[in-house]
Amino acid sequence: HIPLLSSSSMKTSLLLLPGWSDLPLDLLELISDRLSSDTVDLLCLRSVCATWRLSIPPSHNKNLLSKFPKHLPFWSSSSSGVFILKESSVYKLEAPKKSWLVKLQETSPGKMRVLDLFSNDKISFLPDNFPEKIDLQEFHARLVRRAYRMEYANNGGAETSCFWSLRSDKVVILSSGEDSAVMAIHSGGKLGFLKSGNYERWRVLGDSWNVMYDDIMAHGENCIVVDDKGKTVIYDVDFEVSDLAEGLAGGGGHKKHLLEYSGGGEVLLVDKYVKHVWCKSAFSKSAVEFRVYKLNREEKRWEEVRELGDVALFVGDDCSFSVRIPAGDLAGGCIFYRDYRNGGRSKGICSNGEGVFNVELPDAGKSWVSY
């Protein structure tokens, strides 16, 4: 038999329930360890009460960047320069009647810099309707995608040959237990890696000397890589490789981008077709068409997708991602990207402008617009 409590007894029992501030510290530590890789989640956790704020440090050493030295070697061993590994995160800030996508880089514990979604340019000023303060008790912050890049730093030696790119926006960190590695696409589309315990020199993977790789994406504890023809493979943390898909018919377009479909975990390929356009007394590349493909793992091929439904795709320099859009919103079924044709400031952002392409229009190849 289940004993029944009177309403007065229930009220007394509820009053005697311990508050969140009385949570045992060892249990609180376990919770914070689960969230230690995400700064915003830690901020939310620390904001619950004063006791939690004092008990939980503003940052942990479990961030993936902490597994690597501060300075990584440059592509060429003859250069005195080094690479600095940096991380940024894309969040969806959701309020009752409005939501925003924000790309943040932590510059010091608890302090953030807002970056352009499609690149890593610092935003000069925010939109007029963006909140002056972000109260994490009023906004729900959801991590959409984490991105990594490497930036060159000269240690006072000779200038580096222009043959080598001084940065890489195509970087993935692999981590499984005690094993960790950095994989990156560098100059000439080659695929290089550094493995834990050996950070002295980049090594080129497999037949990378004969292939031009376009994009790289973390997928669970593995890494998916696509070349300029659409052929796609997957690597694990031990660099064991398996084929995922053959290339596209005729090689497809000019630039391939990998991303995960929002909510479903399916792997998508966005193929961008570009042409040279006249912009500010110089020629630059501008997108003229996009095609989207879904990975068919069983048949190891890419299948073209004609409809995206209530999902929007964002194609960036260092990462691409998808976001589910409220039903009826015009952004559903669109691809947002960096448009080099604009060639200047756009909406107060220090970048080359943004464009939007609707996948579902019958003449989608011609019906795109910059904003």
- pLDDT tens-digit map of 241-285: 899 999 999 999 989 999 998 767 799 999 998 876 555 545 556
Given this model, what pLDDT does residue 279 score? Answer: 55
- pLDDT value at 239 more than 60: yes
For 131-154, what is each residue's pLDDT tens digit?
777 776 677 788 888 899 988 887
Cβ contact 123:348 at 8 Å = yes
Residues ≥6 apart with Cβ < 8 Å to 171: 85, 148, 149, 150, 182, 183, 184, 216, 318
Single-letter amino acid, residue 110: G
For 26-42, what is each residue's pLDDT tens digit?
887 777 776 655 666 77
E strand or H helix that includes residue 50: helix 50-55
Cβ contact 368:344 at 8 Å = no
Given this model, what pLDDT does residue 348 score? Answer: 33
State how far the alpha carbon of 58 is from the alpha carbons of 19, 41, 69, 255, in Å: 22, 11, 21, 40
Given this model, what pLDDT does residue 231 score? Answer: 95
Residue carrying structure tokens 């989640």: 41
CB atoms within 10 A of CB 285: 16
d(CA 73, CA 84): 9
Q: Which residues face 215 on adjacent strands?
A: 226
As a whole number of Å, the end-to-end CA separation of the chain is 67
For 68-109, what is each residue's pLDDT tens digit?
888 888 887 666 688 888 889 898 888 777 888 889 888 877
State how far the alpha carbon of 272 is from the alpha carbons of 65, 234, 269, 293, 333, in Å: 31, 22, 10, 11, 16
For Cα atoms 288, 218, 221, give the angle at the middle one, nearest 5 degrees: 160
- 4-8, 201-205, 363-367: which has the highest mean pLDDT? 201-205
3-state SS assignment for residue 104:
strand
Eight-state DSSP code of residue 135: -
Could you tell me whether strands 311-315 and 320-324 are parallel, antiparallel, or unpaired per DSSP bridges?
antiparallel
Given this model, what pLDDT does residue 354 score? Answer: 63
- pTM for the whole structure: 0.78
Strand order in the sheet with 255-260: 255-260, 267-279, 282-296, 301-305
- pLDDT value at 368 more than 70: no
Confidence of residue 214 (pLDDT cuts 50, 70, 90): very high
230 or 106, which is more confident:
230
d(CA 61, CA 175): 15
Nearest to 287 by CA among 338, 214, 332: 338
Given this model, what pLDDT does residue 353 score? Answer: 53
Eight-state DSSP code of residue 349: B
Given this model, what pLDDT does residue 47 score? Answer: 73
d(CA 247, CA 174): 25
